[in-house]
Amino acid sequence: MTFIKTFIARTVLIATAALGGHACAQAEPSGTPQQLPSVSLGVSFYNIKAELAQTERQREIGLMFRKTLGLNDGMIFVFERAGTQCFWMKNTLIPLSVAFIDDSGTIVNIDEMKAETEDPHCSVKPVRYVLEMNKGWFSKRGIKEGSKISGELFGSPH
């Protein structure tokens, strides 16, 4: 069963990439967590400090090899153009919640991701932004599909 699940997950990721989507965490990084510049974001009345992953390599590594993530810290992935974005958790040691966000800053969908798995987690429609936070961060704060993220990236002050 594990082989079938892995085969299906990899097939979905390959098909997504072929259709112009992206899959993070495909390259084998050095094993050292990356440290990126951060931006301030907000949702509801919560402040978020999000590291900014803008290049293909930065997006591939993401939050791999991190052992902890601050309470209101996360990583925002910025893509050049909207597409079906799919993420998995290879070499990611902490469980995460992922929010897929459209150009206006509206959350399209949220998913929970288990540490060190290759299960695909995809946006339900094309998006340019993906925000990863500690597992349960969004649900514990009542943040859900349709909630609006604010910040310079979305043309709104924070």
| Full DSSP string of 60-118 | HHTTTT-S---TTEEEEEEEEEEE-EEE--TT--S-EEEEEE-TTSBEEEEEEE-TT--
Q: Which two tokens stand for residue 128?
A: 């340019």
Contact 116, 93 (CB under 8 A): yes
Confidence (pLDDT) at 28: 53
One-letter amino acid identity for 6? T
95 — phi, psi (to 5°)? -70, 145
One-letter amino acid identity for 109? N
Contact 105, 156 (CB under 8 A): yes
Beta bridge partners of 133: 74, 97
Residue 47 CB: number of other CB atoms within 10 A?
12
Confidence (pLDDT) at 75: 98
Cα(71)–Cα(118) distance, integer angstroms: 25
CATH architecture of structural domain 2-154: Sandwich (2.60)
For residue 148, the 8-state DSSP code is B
Give tens-digit pLDDT for 44-87. Answer: 999 999 999 999 999 999 999 999 999 999 999 999 999 999 99
Give tens-digit pLDDT for 23-44. Answer: 444 445 678 899 999 999 999 9
